[in-house]
Every structure is written in C-alpha cells, then in structure tokens.
C-alpha cells in the first residue's frame, strides 16, 4: 500500500494545473465518502456509536480536511521530489504520538531512525543556501511536515476504537466528517479536466483513501502503531523517482544523500528484535547402576 501511496505528491502536483488546493481535497475525499456510503450496508462489522461517532467525525476533519490541504499547499510551493522524501518523517511523528498518547514503547534503534530522518530532511531542504528559492523550499517543506501531525490523529484517535468498530465503517464516518468540512470551506465546483485528471482523482479516492486507510487500520489493529508506521519509509524513494520520471523534476545531490540517510534509518528501525539466548546449562553425566 505504501508503494501505491508513493505517487500521491506527484499526483497533487499534476492536479494543481487544473484544481486549487481545496478543490483537490474536496473531490478526492468526497468521492471516497460516496463510495463507502453506497457500500455501507455491505461493509462488515459494527459502525461507531455514541461518543465514537463524534471522535470519528473529529478525526475525519483533521485527517481528511486539514491535513490534505497542508500537504497540497506544501507540494504546490515546493517540488514533488522533496516532499516525497519528507514523507519519511511521518512514521517518526506517528511513533512519537503513539509513545505519548498510546503509551507504546519505542525501541532505541527507532530513535536512531528518527535522528537519521531529521538529518535527511536537513539535506533535502538545503537550508545552508542563501538564495530565496532555498528559503521558499524550506517553508514548503515545513508546511508539508506539519500535515503529518494531523495525519497522526488517524492512528492515535482511531486505534482505541478498533476493538469495537469496523475499520471500514470507521473510515467511512471519518470521510463523512472530512467531506462536510471540505464542502463548508470550498463548496462544490466541478471543473472541466482531461480524462487522465479524473482517473487520477478516482485512484486517489478509491485506492489511496477508501482502501488504503482501511488497510492501515487493519494493520494497527494487529500491531504497534510505531512499527506499522515505519513501513511508510517505503514511499520516499519511489516518490522521488516518480517525480523525476513523470514530472521531469531535476534531482540534486542533497536529495540523494538525504535519501541515503533515510534508508539507513529504515534499515536500523525495522531490524527485528533478537531474542536473548538462554545460557547453556551444563549437566554432569549420571551413572546408572
């Protein structure tokens, strides 16, 4: 799923030629909400009830309204290749949130991954340059990274409800809240676009949203959030290559070194825990008469 998500920022960049920031978020998540709403009677499991409905709606506003608007704004102000690599910081932010709010234990090697992710972000942003473009790129990257704080709410608010609510129905209610917020802010405006643009929006709505977010819940229902979050490291390199091939964005050395730092952090963070071996017990032979 992370390999499929890798093209999201390049798709945002492509759709920016036809739609504004708010319109992209409204159509993408509105389309996903309609799809899951139509399928609601056939979705397995129970839907949220009582306070869980309010929690799901609030989560939807944060994740499906505020977060994508920040992401799209960051993409349009910077390069898709840069923001694709910055996705590597998302699992680290999610892990910190899981440690603070869900009391998950983060192993020392994942803290090393966090440090290497920060190093990678510094290299990607080129903050040592003095020109205006570097400052503009830094601001775009910071806007993009701020969206990850909102994305973390998807796991931190949603995981405690997964023992009593179906992942698919939880996503559906969240999408309803996000769509109401998006429509309230931007309204509904259908634009004349090429077929490819509509297919990209359908991909973002069905695959990257309805299917992808539900699969994320299925995963964190069975494993720690900080562990599943590390799988997001699969996105940056694929996203960088896609931005270069599809959008023709140039690559620079700091992106390469930043990606190396991030990959090393991934290797360290995902290294399996080695169980301590029990000391061998030596016994003397027993003579039997």
In a domain, 286, yes or no: no
Q: Is the pLDDT of residue 134 over 50?
A: no
In a domain, 149, yes or no: yes
C-beta separation of 269 from 112 below 8 A: yes
Q: Is the pLDDT of residue 215 over 50?
A: yes
pLDDT band at 213 (very low <50, low <70, confident <90, very high): very high
In a domain, 276, yes or no: no
In a domain, 115, yes or no: yes
C-beta separation of 67 from 151 below 8 A: yes
In a domain, 289, yes or no: no
Q: What is the mean pLDDT of residues 6-31?
A: 84
Answer with the residue of higher pLDDT: 255 or 36: 36
Q: What is the per-residue pLDDT for 2?
A: 78
Asked which of 8-17, 108-117, 178-187, 197-206 is least confident by mean pLDDT, the reply is: 108-117
Answer with the residue of higher pLDDT: 142 or 275: 142
- Note the pTM of the prediction, 2 decimals: 0.75
Average pLDDT value for the chain: 79
**Length reported for the chain:** 289
As for how many domains the chain has, the answer is 1
pLDDT in tens, 220-274: 988 888 878 777 777 766 766 776 776 676 767 776 777 777 777 777 766 766 6
Answer with the residue of higher pLDDT: 182 or 115: 182
Q: Is the pLDDT of residue 284 over 60?
A: no
Q: What is the per-residue pLDDT for 33?
A: 95
Dist CA 12 CA 15 (whole Å): 5
In a domain, 20, yes or no: yes
Q: What is the per-residue pLDDT for 55?
A: 95
In a domain, 166, yes or no: yes
Domain that holds residue 162: 2-269
Q: What is the per-residue pLDDT for 132?
A: 42
In a domain, 139, yes or no: yes
Q: What is the per-residue pLDDT for 102?
A: 83
């Amino acid at each position: 799923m992370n390999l499929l998500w890798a093209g999201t920022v390049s798709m945002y960049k492509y759709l920016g030629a036809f739609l504004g920031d708010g319109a992209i978020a409204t159509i993408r998540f509105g389309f996903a909400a309609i799809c899951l709403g139509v399928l609601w009677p056939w979705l397995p499991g129970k839907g949220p009830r009582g306070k869980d409905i309010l929690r799901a709606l609030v989560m939807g506003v944060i994740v499906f309204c505020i977060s994508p608007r920040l992401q799209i704004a960051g993409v349009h102000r910077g390069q898709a290749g840069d923001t694709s690599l910055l996705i590597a910081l998302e699992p680290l932010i999610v892990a910190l949130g899981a440690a603070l709010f869900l009391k998950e234990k983060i192993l020392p090697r994942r803290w090393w991954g966090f440090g290497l992710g920060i190093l990678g972000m510094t290299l990607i942003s080129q903050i040592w340059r003095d020109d205006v473009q570097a400052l503009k790129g830094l601001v775009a990257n910071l806007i993009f990274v701020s969206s990850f704080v909102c994305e973390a709410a998807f796991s931190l608010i949603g995981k405690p409800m997964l023992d009593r609510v179906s992942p698919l129905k939880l996503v559906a209610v969240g999408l309803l809240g996000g769509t109401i917020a998006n429509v309230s802010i931007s309204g509904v405006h259908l634009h004349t676009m090429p077929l490819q643009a509509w297919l990209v929006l359908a991909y973002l709505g069905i695959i990257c949203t309805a299917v992808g977010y539900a699969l994320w819940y299925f995963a964190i229902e069975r494993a720690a959030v900080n562990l599943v979050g590390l799988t997001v490291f699969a996105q940056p390199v694929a996203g960088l290559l896609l931005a270069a091939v599809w959008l023709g964005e140039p690559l620079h050395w700091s992106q390469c070194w930043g990606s190396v730092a991030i990959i090393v952090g991934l290797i360290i963070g995902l290294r399996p825990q080695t169980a301590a071996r029990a000391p061998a017990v030596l016994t003397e032979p027993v003579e039997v008469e």
